[in-house]
Amino acid sequence: MTTFAEIAPQLEGQAIEVPSWAYGNSGTRFKVFGTAGTPRTVEEKIADAATVNRFTGLAPKVALHIPWDLVDDFAALRRYAEDLGVELGTINSNTFQDDDYKFGGLTHHDPAIRQKAIDHHLQCLEVMNATGSRDLKIWLADGSNYPGQADIRGRQDRLAESLQTIYAQLSGDQRLVLEYKFFEPAFYHTDVPDWGTALAHVQALGDNATVCLDTGHHAPGTNIEFIVAQLLRLGKLGAFDFNSRFYADDDLIVGAADPFQLFRILFEVIRGGGYGPGSEVAFMLDQCHNVEKKIPGQIRSVLNVQEMTARALLVDREVLGQAQQAGDVLGAHEVFMDAFYTDVRADLAAWRESRGLPANPMRAYAESGHQEQIEAERVGGTQVGWGA
Helix axes 294-313 and 329-340, enclosed angle (nearest 10):
140
Does residue 29 carry a pLDDT above 90? no
pLDDT for the residue 299? 98
Alpha carbon distances (Å) from 356 to 4, 190, 304, 349? 19, 47, 20, 11
Report CA 134 to chain centroid distance, whole Å.
14
Nearest alpha carbon to residue 359 among 294, 303, 295:
303
Give all strands of the β-sheet with 282-285 in edge-to-edge order.
18-19, 61-65, 87-92, 135-138, 175-179, 209-214, 237-242, 282-285
Instruction: Report CA 289 to chain centroid distance, whole Å.
Output: 14
Among 261, 51, 282, 271, which residue's Cα sits nearest to residue 175?
282
Give the chain's radius of gyration (CA, Å): 21
Give the pLDDT confidence of 91-144 residue by residue, as tens digits: 999 999 999 999 999 999 999 999 999 999 999 999 999 999 999 999 999 999
Q: 385: pLDDT confidence band, cut at 50, 70 and 90?
A: confident
- With pLDDT > 70 as the criterion, what percentage of the chain qualifies? 99
**What pLDDT is attached to residue 387?**
60
pLDDT digits (tens, 9 = 90+) for 130-185: 999 999 999 999 999 999 999 999 999 999 999 999 999 999 999 999 999 999 99
pLDDT of residue 23 exceeding 60: yes
**What is the Cα–Cα distance from 210 to 197, expressed in whole angstroms?**
12
Core vs surface per residue 107-126: b (16+ CB within 10 A) or e: bbeeeebbebbbebbeebbe
Q: Is the pTM of this model over 0.85?
A: yes
If pLDDT is split at 50, 70 and 90, which confidence band does 31 have? confident
| Mean per-residue pLDDT, 249-265 | 97
Q: pLDDT digit string (tens) for 60-74?
A: 999 999 999 999 999
The answer to whether 275 touches 266, Cβ cutoff 8 Å, is yes
Q: How many CB atoms lie within 10 A of CB 236?
A: 18
CA neighbor of 36 nearest in space, from 388, 341, 336, 383: 383
Does residue 263 contact residue 307 with C-beta atoms inside 8 Å? no
Task: Tell me the CATH number for domain 13-377.
Answer: 3.20.20.150
d(CA 19, CA 345): 25
